[in-house]
Amino acid sequence: MHPDIKEILFTHDEIVETCKRLGKQIDEDYAGKTPLLVGLLRGSVPFIAELIQHITVDMKYDFMDVSSYEGTESTGEVRIIKDLDTSVKGVDIILIDDIADTGYTLDKVAGLLYNKGANSVRAACLLNKAERRKLEVDVDYIGFEVPNVFVVGFGLDYEQLYRNLPYIGILKEEVYQK
């Protein structure tokens, strides 16, 4: 375990099993369709990489780079840094994000995709931190529910660090309260 981690919440094996479960749900919901998975950079990368291994329906994927955090807090303002390279007109989309927290990012990106002509927009998040929600958003595919603690690993970061941890853990408070 990394020395900055207080406790491991979800092991790599638990994450893989969860991705299998989510992949099966997506297969059932999108039978006969070809969804476009839209990974929200950077946190979604390990999650989408694992998840697509467990989806058997035809699918495509692309990425958007969006930002709404400074340090440990959401600014409430979602900035689009890199937009999609793929047209979404008439497409069924599944937004892939590492964590559903305040709801600002999912709300803003879903609205943008609908404005561009998406047929449907659903969301898959590895983690759901419902008690921090500021906007009511639907998360259709949830990996794990998490309490209001600062989590890192498997794509989640603090100041761009810890994304490469193969598990999800609670970051020690002294690391981010300097």
- At position 63, the amino acid (one-letter code) is F
Query: How many other C-beta atoms lie within 10 A of the C-beta of residue 50?
Result: 20
Q: Which of 27, 58, 101, 157 is catalytic?
A: 101
Q: Is 7 exposed, middle or buried (0-12, 13-18, 19+ CB in 10 A)?
A: exposed
List, in order, residues 6 or more apart from 111 with CB less than 8 Å away.
none
- Asked if 131 and 147 touch (Cβ cutoff 8 Å), the reply is yes
Bridge-based pairing of strands 141-145 and 120-128 is parallel
Assess whether 157 carries a catalytic annotation: no
The set of catalytic residues is: 101
